[in-house]
Amino acid sequence: MSKKEAVERINILRRTINRHRYLYHVLDQEEMSEAALDSLKHELAELEAEYPDLVTPDSPTQRVGGEPLDKFSKVEHTVPQWSFNDAFSPEEMRDFDKRIKKVLGSGRVPTYVAELKIDGFKIVLTYDKGLLKTAATRGNGRVGEDVTANVRTVEAIPLKLEKEVSVVVEGEIWLSKDNFDKINQEQKDKGEPLYANPRNVAAGTIRQLDPRVVASRRLDNFVYDLAQADFALPPTQQAELELLAELGFKVNKHHTLCPTIEEVIAFWQKWQNKKDKEPYWLDGIVVKVNEREYQTALGYTGKAPRFAIAFKFPAEQATTVVEDIVLQVGRQGTITPVARLRPTLLAGSTVSRATLHNEDEIKRLDVRIGDTVILQKAGDVIPDIVKVLTEMRTGQEKVFKWPTELEACAPIGTSAKAGGGPIERIPGQAAWRCVNKNSFAQLKRKFYHFVSKTAFDIEKLGPRVIDVLLENKLVVRYDDIFKLKKGDLLVLPRFAEKSADNLIKAIDEKRQVSLARLLVALSIPGVGEETAEDVAKHFGVLTKIEKAGLAELQAITGVGEVVGQAIYDWFREKENQNLVKGLLAEVKVLPVKKEAGAQKLAGLKFVLTGTLPTLSRDEAKMLVKQNGGEVAGSVSAKTDYVLAGEEAGSKLGKAQELGVKVIDEKEFRKMLG
């Protein structure tokens, strides 16, 4: 950025910041979140640091303003620990209400109970005849850590109930704002790093090996769910909360019965403004169908209850500039507009892209190239642009024009002079797609996916080689890969005797594939690694999947209605049937085997880093899964082991920081016996 551009940008930033400061602090009006305003201030400070001679006295910048987890024993939950699906807007909540009523049918009208969603750490408490027996972390939903000794120090949790009943209850361990500040002050006094947020402190505290440390943190607790009992459960969620209080549990008093979804939305809106007045942190509300009879009828998906949802408060926000808008073509031919952004920090990570979803979203936002925008991250996904700061426009912004054709949608073999392929808007939807279903861009992405590590995992067959094979029409369908001969490759650029031999060898080594990997490779809409595993385990062999009825597919845990329909439709298209037939003539699909005693790693979460002596990353990952374990991509307080090899990266440092046990391949093999 030139100095002239910096002067213009600095003036716009100062004007905008001062306006919103006045609205918020003088008129008590908030048109921009504090996080977004802070982002503008941060940008201004960086520019002034780069050009210190532009700093003025009235600039807004001049205002003064654990221990290793493996030492805990494991606890198998008697009640599966579900997580909630999330909603982020009133529209999503109204859709939730419609789904509930559709499933229940006419004549059954649900009411809802809205409760505050405490930003803390989930705990599962088991009582035997009124006495606390165990306290466990959520873990992976099936197996948690026994933290009973530490939980006994939390005075809000009763050691003995008011009645001699046997129950399993669920609640949230939390740290008050005052105690969080005191702990950080102690850290500061000791010259140690400050903690980022109270939830992490609560989670780290409950995992301390010394209960005296836990007691000193003065953790608190709310109980919100009676998961299991040796008596008939109350008929409503409202009655359940009342019973929990009668048993001696600390129940958050801010819950209410809402006859309609609009009253739920009103409760959510009210608590957006009130949340900061409470001694604990809130990140939304939890909404549950009140009637237990209806809860039972609605049931669960593979990962969450259908009768409940977490209605999140607006996510963290930041501001940045849209530098360009580009169109991306997916494997299914759908075209997605993506904003390329000036890199900015949001929710703990640097982002440089934001999805614009579709043409209608671009028009609704009136987003233009060069605009300053507010970003919002809803979970760990690509952020959304939620607002354009039109007041910061200079007149140099460019309106994005939706094209009539894209080069990426052109058929294979089309020259650059011939232009791109036509695109069309999908009838009844806001999305656009390539008219040609076999455009070069789509085929490339499908083939990239087919040979990727989660699918057939064919080494030496990278994107550049795939592109050349497609351009020369040596492959059209997946089975053509396995028909390639050395002579086919030698006529291609960058292929010599040795490289051709290596590729043919790599392909031949993958003529056997697991059923789950095959399902991933086929690019069936909605079928990723986890869903493929669920489907493969359910049916065992491919022929049963091909013949499966719609109802059976949709009933599989972790699949659901939409993906079940997609699988059913995919296997009934003649083109796909021929594709599978051709592929089966070249490769062998291994049936799913249920191995006895293969659960040696059940309930354990692993993270892999570095290069192992004899195992590839995928082989180690497969061994973990085959033995009942789980593989995660990043290290957290919930990680049980980090399996590290040579040249281990930042994950090793993170493990050491959190006290997560680090093992090598030798120790890993010992665990497997």
- Tell me how far apart the alpha carbons of residues 439 and 462 are, in angstroms, rounded to a whole number: 19
Q: Which amino acid is at 587?
A: V
Residues β-bridged to residue 415: none
Tokens of 648: 């281990």
- Tell me how far apart the alpha carbons of residues 29 and 623 are, in angstroms, rounded to a whole number: 57
H-run or E-run covering 335:
strand 334-346
- Tell me how far apart the alpha carbons of residues 601 and 72 are, in angstroms, rounded to a whole number: 15
Return the active site residues. 117
Tokens of 532: 């493929």
- Tell me how far apart the alpha carbons of residues 154 and 205 are, in angstroms, rounded to a whole number: 11
Per-residue three-class SS string for 462-529: CHHHHHHHHHCCCCCCHHHHHHCCHHHHHCCCCCCHHHHHHHHHHHHCCCEEEHHHHHHHCCCCCCCH
> Strand 398-399 relative to strand 282-289: parallel, antiparallel, unpaired?
unpaired
Return the DSSP state at 542: H
Contact call for residues 439 and 421 (beta carbons, < 8 A):
yes
Return the DSSP state at 250: -
Contact call for residues 174 and 222 (beta carbons, < 8 A):
yes
Contact call for residues 394 and 321 (beta carbons, < 8 A):
no
- Please, which residues have CB within 8 angstroms of residue 495's CB and are 6 or more apart in sequence? 489, 503
CA atoms within 13 A on the CB side of 404: 1
- Tell me how far apart the alpha carbons of residues 156 and 223 are, in angstroms, rounded to a whole number: 10
Contact call for residues 353 and 347 (beta carbons, < 8 A):
no
- How far CA 492 is from CA of 412, 413, 416, 467, in Å, comes to 17, 16, 21, 11
Own/partner long-range contacts of 2-10 (Cβ < 8 Å, ≥24 apart): 3/51, 6/47, 6/50, 6/51, 6/54, 7/54, 8/394, 9/47, 10/44, 10/47, 10/48, 10/51, 10/54
Alpha helices, H only, 60-191 = 90-104, 148-151, 177-189
- Tell me how far apart the alpha carbons of residues 496 and 489 are, in angstroms, rounded to a whole number: 8
Contact call for residues 74 and 145 (beta carbons, < 8 A):
yes
Return the DSSP state at 316: P
User: ∠ at Cα 646 (644, 650), nearest 5°?
Assistant: 60
Contact call for residues 165 and 247 (beta carbons, < 8 A):
yes
> Strand 605-609 relative to strand 372-376: parallel, antiparallel, unpaired?
unpaired
Phi, psi of 15, rounded to the nearest 5 degrees: -65, -45
- Tell me how far apart the alpha carbons of residues 293 and 279 are, in angstroms, rounded to a whole number: 35
Residues β-bridged to residue 376: 317, 384
Tokens of 124: 């599962």
Nearest of 367, 411, 413, 360 to residue 389 by alpha carbon = 367
